[in-house]
C-alpha cells in the first residue's frame, strides 16, 4: 500500500526562492550537522534566537538527561514578541483569528505584546512567579496564546489542556501538575454549539486543593457560576493592569510547558519541554520545513491543546515573525468549505493539516474546494499519522493544484519539533513518506537488540543522538521517562513507531508498535480507555484495540465483559460510549463496543490485545495463540463477528 509510484520534485521557481535550495544544499547542511553537532546547533541558536546571556557550553549529556545551551538566559515571550517590535514587524499581523460565528480579530505584534504584558501583570497580581504552574483550558481564541505567552514571560510553566477533554481528564492533569491557577473561559463555539468549559472546570476543581485562583475569559457570554474569592473575570482583572512587564531572563533549561499525552498505561504522561533548545528548533523548522517568508500567511489547523498547536501555531510562527492564522471552530461548519473559505479570504500561502481531515474532506467531494480560489497556496503540510498515498495525491491535485509541495512532517509531543520531513525546496517527494531527517537529527531503524535492520525491512524507529527540543523528562516521573524512552533499545531514544527505510534513505512511518492508538491524529492509549470503561459499575473487564478506519486512521474498538445482571446491550453500549466521553473526552468514544463472555488471556492472566487487534483488522486470527489460555474465546469472538 505504501509503495510510491512516482516522485515529485519541486519546481525550479520554488527552489530558487527556498531557504534550502536543492538536494545538494541539504546534504551539505546535514553532513555539517552530523559531523559537528555542537557547532551546528550553536550557529542555529545564535541566528534564530535572541539571548540575554550566552551559554557556557552548548550541550550536557547525563544519559538520558540532556541540557542545551547551558547557562544561557532567554525568554520565549521575548523571542515571540519584543524582538519583533524594533523591526518592520511591529505592526505586522501576528495572529489572524477567525471565530466560528464569523467574528474576526487581527492582532499585530505590537498589540499582542500589549495584551501579553497586561495579562502577565494580572498573573503577577495573583502572586504568580517563576516556577509556579498554570493550567490553561480554553477555546481557540487569541487569549489562549496570550495566556501562554504571559506565563512564559514571567516563567510560569503552563500546561494547556485541550478543550475537548472532560472534567475528569482535566482534574487528573491539574492534580499531576500541582497547578495553583486555572485559566479558562465560559465556553467556546463548536458546530454552532457552546462547549461549556467553565462548567467542566468547576466539576474538576472540586478535588484540586492546590488551585487558588481561576481566571475566566468571557467568550460566549453565557451564564456561569463564579465562586467568590476563587474565580475572577479576565476582563475585570485586566482593566487596571499595567502594560509594563519586562520579559524575565530565564535559564535556557527553564520549564516552558508540560503537555500531557497518552502513553502505554492508563495514566497520561506530562511531557516537559524547556526554553532555549525548544525555541531554537521550532524556529529553525519554520524555515527548513515551512520555508517561511516574511510576506507569508501561514495556517496550521491544529488545536493549540495538542503539541502541533504549541509548536506550529504559537511558538514557532511567532518566534519566526510569521502571520499565523487561528480558527476557532469545526472544518465542516456551517458547510464543508469553511476551510477553503478561510484560505481564499485571507490568501493563505502555507497550509498545515492532518491526514484525517484530508480524508474527511475527500469524502465530501471536490466541489467544496473547487468553489474557491486557492491560488494563494504555495506549500502544504501534513502531520499526526501516516498519510496514505491516495489522500496525498488528492491533497496535491485538488488543493495544491499540482503546484505546491507537500511536507509530510514526522514528529511527536516528545520531540517538540519536526524531526523527519522534506525540506520542500530540496527533497523530491514520494507520497506516503516523511522522506529524510532534518539536520542534526540522526534516526535509525533497528531491531530490539539495537541492531540496524536492512533497507526495506520493518523495524523500530529510534533517534540516535539527543536534539535541542527533545523532552527533558516526564513530569514528576524521571524513572518512567528512562524506561519508556531510553531502555527498550539501550542508548537510543525509542519513538514507539515502526518504520522502514528505502534504498534512497527515505523513511516510511508505519504506525505505533505499542498500545497507543492514533484516532484522528489524536494519541490515545488503549489502557486509558480500558480504565475508563472498568470504572463503570456494569463493566467487569475491558480490552481496547485500534481498528483501521478509512477516515480517522484508527477507531476505538472495545471488548467488554459485564458483571452479573440483566443488561440491555444496545442501551448499555450507548451508555458506555457516553461514559468514556465523560471520563476522557468525546474524541475517545469507542466506535464499537462488543460484549463478550470472556477476553482472550495468557495463562498468567494478561489480556492478549494482539489477538483482538488481529481479529478486528483482518477478521480472523492466524497469529501465535500458543500462550492463549482458552482458544474458545477467540473462536467465539470470531463467530460473533461473522454474525454481525
What region, left, alpha or beta, does residue 474 occupy, with left being phi > 0 and alpha being psi -120 to 50 degrees?
Answer: beta
Tell me which residues touch ligand WTA (CB under 6 A). 261, 306-308, 383-386, 408-413, 434, 495-497, 509, 511-512, 518, 523
Least distance in angstroms from the C-beta of 160 to ligand WTA: 13
Name, in order, each residue with C-beta under 8 angstroms of 31's C-beta and a sequence gap of 6 or more. none
Least distance in angstroms from the C-beta of 470 to ligand WTA: 13
**What sections of 324-466 are H helices per DSSP?**
338-346, 355-364, 367-370, 389-394
Give the nearer residue to ligand WTA in terms of CB position, either 51 or 351.
Answer: 351
Q: By three-state DSSP, how is residue 551 classified?
A: coil
Give the nearer residue to ligand WTA in terms of CB position, either 28 or 448.
Answer: 448
CA atoms within a 13 Å half-sphere pointing along the CA-CB vector of 541:
13
Name, in order, each residue with C-beta under 8 angstroms of 298's C-beta and a sequence gap of 6 or more. 290, 292, 317, 322, 323, 324, 325, 348, 349, 350, 352
Give the nearer residue to ligand WTA in terms of CB position, either 34 or 498.
Answer: 498
C-alpha 237/C-alpha 34 separation (Å) is 50
CA angle in degrees (0–180, nearest 5) for 127-133-136: 100
Give the nearer residue to ligand WTA in terms of CB position, either 74 or 495.
Answer: 495
Give the nearer residue to ligand WTA in terms of CB position, either 251 or 385.
Answer: 385
Least distance in angstroms from the C-beta of 410 to ligand WTA: 4
Give the nearer residue to ligand WTA in terms of CB position, either 182 or 461.
Answer: 461
Give the nearer residue to ligand WTA in terms of CB position, either 252 or 262.
Answer: 262
Give the nearer residue to ligand WTA in terms of CB position, either 517 or 576.
Answer: 517
Q: Which among 234, 298, 280 has a CA at the least distance from the CA of 42? A: 280
CA angle in degrees (0–180, nearest 5) for 374-393-440: 90
C-alpha 127/C-alpha 371 separation (Å) is 52
Give the nearer residue to ligand WTA in terms of CB position, either 369 or 381.
Answer: 381
C-alpha 158/C-alpha 182 separation (Å) is 10
Give the nearer residue to ligand WTA in terms of CB position, either 434 or 573.
Answer: 434
C-alpha 446/C-alpha 92 separation (Å) is 47
Give the nearer residue to ligand WTA in terms of CB position, either 275 or 412.
Answer: 412
Q: Which among 313, 432, 628, 526 has a CA at the least distance from the CA of 6? A: 432
Classify residue 637 as exposed, middle or buried by CB count within 10 Å of its CB (0-12, 13-18, 19+).
Answer: buried
Give the nearer residue to ligand WTA in terms of CB position, either 420 or 426.
Answer: 420
C-alpha cell at 41: 546547533
Q: Kind of pairing, strands 157-160 and 193-195?
A: unpaired
Least distance in angstroms from the C-beta of 432 to ligand WTA: 9
Give the nearer residue to ligand WTA in terms of CB position, either 226 or 498.
Answer: 498
Least distance in angstroms from the C-beta of 319 to ligand WTA: 18
| CA 223 from centroid of its chain's CA atoms | 31
DSSP 53: B
Give the nearer residue to ligand WTA in terms of CB position, either 132 or 176.
Answer: 176
Contact 483, 473 (CB under 8 A): no
Least distance in angstroms from the C-beta of 158 to ligand WTA: 18
What region, left, alpha or beta, does residue 72 occupy, with left being phi > 0 and alpha being psi -120 to 50 degrees?
Answer: beta
| Phi, psi dihedral angles at 410 (to 5 degrees) | -100, 130
Least distance in angstroms from the C-beta of 34 to ligand WTA: 22
Q: What is the 3-state secondary structure (H, E, C) of 435-494?
A: ECECCCCCEEEECCCCCECCCCCEEEEEECCCCCCCCCCECCCHHHHHHHHHCCCCCCEE
C-alpha 372/C-alpha 343 separation (Å) is 8
Least distance in angstroms from the C-beta of 434 to ligand WTA: 5
Least distance in angstroms from the C-beta of 446 to ligand WTA: 16
Give the nearer residue to ligand WTA in terms of CB position, either 64 or 386.
Answer: 386
Least distance in angstroms from the C-beta of 362 to ligand WTA: 18
Q: DSSP letter string over 604-629?
A: T--B-HHHHHHHHHHSS--S--TTBS
C-alpha 406/C-alpha 404 separation (Å) is 6
Least distance in angstroms from the C-beta of 6 to ligand WTA: 19
Q: Which among 334, 384, 330 has a CA at the least distance from the CA of 139? A: 330
Q: Which among 114, 185, 190, 189 has a CA at the least distance from the CA of 146? A: 114
Least distance in angstroms from the C-beta of 368 to ligand WTA: 24
Least distance in angstroms from the C-beta of 209 to ligand WTA: 30
Least distance in angstroms from the C-beta of 451 to ligand WTA: 22
Least distance in angstroms from the C-beta of 609 to ligand WTA: 17
Amino acid at each position: 500500500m505504501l509503495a510510491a509510484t512516482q516522485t515529485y520534485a519541486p519546481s525550479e521557481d520554488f527552489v530558487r526562492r527556498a531557504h534550502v535550495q536543492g538536494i545538494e544544499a541539504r546534504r551539505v547542511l546535514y553532513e555539517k550537522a552530523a559531523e559537528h553537532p555542537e557547532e551546528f546547533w550553536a550557529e542555529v541558536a545564535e541566528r534564530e534566537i535572541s539571548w540575554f546571556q550566552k551559554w557556557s557550553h552548548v550541550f550536557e549529556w547525563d544519559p538520558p538527561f540532556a541540557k542545551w545551551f547551558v547557562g544561557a538566559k532567554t525568554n520565549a515571550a521575548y523571542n515571540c514578541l519584543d524582538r519583533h517590535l524594533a523591526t518592520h514587524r511591529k505592526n505586522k499581523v501576528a495572529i489572524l483569528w477567525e471565530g466560528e460565528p464569523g467574528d474576526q480579530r487581527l492582532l499585530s505584534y505590537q498589540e499582542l505584546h500589549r495584551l501579553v504584558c497586561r495579562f502577565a501583570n494580572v498573573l503577577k497580581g495573583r502572586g504568580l512567579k517563576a516556577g509556579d504552574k498554570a493550567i490553561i483550558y480554553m477555546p481557540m481564541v487569541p487569549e489562549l496564546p496570550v495566556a501562554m505567552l504571559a506565563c512564559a514571560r514571567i516563567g510560569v510553566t503552563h500546561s494547556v489542556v485541550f478543550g475537548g477533554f472532560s472534567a475528569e481528564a482535566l482534574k487528573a492533569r491539574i492534580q499531576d501538575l500541582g497547578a495553583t491557577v486555572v485559566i479558562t473561559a465560559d465556553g467556546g463555539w463548536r458546530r454552532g454549539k457552546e462547549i461549556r468549559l467553565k462548567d467542566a472546570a468547576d466539576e474538576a476543581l472540586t478535588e484540586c486543593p492546590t488551585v487558588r485562583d481561576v481566571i475566566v475569559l468571557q467568550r460566549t457570554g453565557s451564564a456561569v457560576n463564579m465562586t467568590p474569592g476563587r474565580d475572577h473575570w479576565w476582563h475585570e482583572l485586566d482593566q487596571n493592569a499595567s502594560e509594563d512587564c519586562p520579559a524575565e531572563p530565564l535559564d535556557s533549561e527553564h520549564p516552558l510547558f508540560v503537555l500531557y499525552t497518552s502513553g502505554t498505561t492508563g495514566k497520561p504522561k506530562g511531557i516537559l519541554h524547556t526554553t532555549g533548545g525548544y525555541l531554537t528548533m521550532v524556529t529553525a523548522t519554520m524555515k527548513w520545513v515551512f520555508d517561511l517568508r516574511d510576506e507569508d500567511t501561514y495556517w496550521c489547523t491544529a488545536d493549540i491543546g495538542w503539541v502541533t498547536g504549541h509548536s506550529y501555531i504559537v511558538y514557532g510562527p511567532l518566534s519566526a515573525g510569521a502571520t499565523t492564522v487561528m480558527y476557532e471552530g469545526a472544518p465542516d461548519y456551517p458547510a464543508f468549505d469553511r476551510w477553503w473559505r478561510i484560505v481564499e479570504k485571507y490568501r493563505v500561502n502555507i497550509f498545515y493539516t492532518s491526514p484525517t481531515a484530508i480524508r474527511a474532506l475527500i469524502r465530501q467531494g471536490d466541489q467544496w474546494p473547487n468553489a474557491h480560489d486557492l491560488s494563494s497556496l504555495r506549500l502544504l503540510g501534513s502531520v499526526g499519522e501516516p498519510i496514505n498515498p491516495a489522500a496525498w495525491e488528492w491533497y496535491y491535485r485538488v488543493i495544491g493544484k499540482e503546484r505546491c509541495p507537500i511536507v509530510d512532517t514526522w514528529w511527536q509531543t516528545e520531540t517538540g519539533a519536526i524531526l523527519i520531513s522534506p525540506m520542500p525546496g530540496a527533497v523530491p517527494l514520494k507520497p506516503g513518506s516523511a522522506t529524510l531527517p532534518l539536520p542534526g537529527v540522526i534516526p535509525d531503524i533497528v531491531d530490539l537488540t539495537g541492531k540496524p535492520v536492512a533497507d526495506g525491512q520493518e523495524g523500530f524507529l529510534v533517534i540516535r543522538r539527543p536534539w535541542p527540543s527533545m523532552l527533558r523528562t516526564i513530569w514528576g516521573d524521571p524513572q518512567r521517562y528512562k524506561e519508556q524512552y531510553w531502555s527498550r533499545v539501550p542508548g537510543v531514544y525509542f519513538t514507539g513507531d515502526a518504520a522502514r527505510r528505502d534504498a534512497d534513505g527515505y523513511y516510511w512511518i508505519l504506525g505505533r508498535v505499542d498500545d497507543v492508538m492514533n484516532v484522528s491524529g489524536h494519541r490515545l492509549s488503549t489502557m486509558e480507555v480500558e480504565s475508563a470503561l472498568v470504572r463503570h459499575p456494569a463493566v467487569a473487564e475491558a480490552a481496547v484495540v485500534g481498528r483501521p478506519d478509512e477516515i480517522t486512521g484508527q477507531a476505538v474498538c472495545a471488548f467488554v465483559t459485564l458483571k452479573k445482571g440483566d443488561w440491555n446491550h444496545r442501551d448499555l453500549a450507548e451508555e458506555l460510549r457516553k461514559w468514556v466521553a465523560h471520563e476522557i473526552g468525546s474524541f475517545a468514544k469507542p466506535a464499537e463496543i462488543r460484549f463478550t463472555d470472556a477476553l482472550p488471556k495468557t495463562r498468567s492472566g494478561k489480556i492478549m490485545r494482539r489477538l483482538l487487534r488481529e481479529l478486528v483488522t483482518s477478521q480472523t486470527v492466524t497469529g501465535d495463540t500458543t500462550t492463549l489460555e482458552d482458544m474458545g474465546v477467540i473462536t467465539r469472538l470470531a463467530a460473533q463477528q461473522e454474525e454481525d
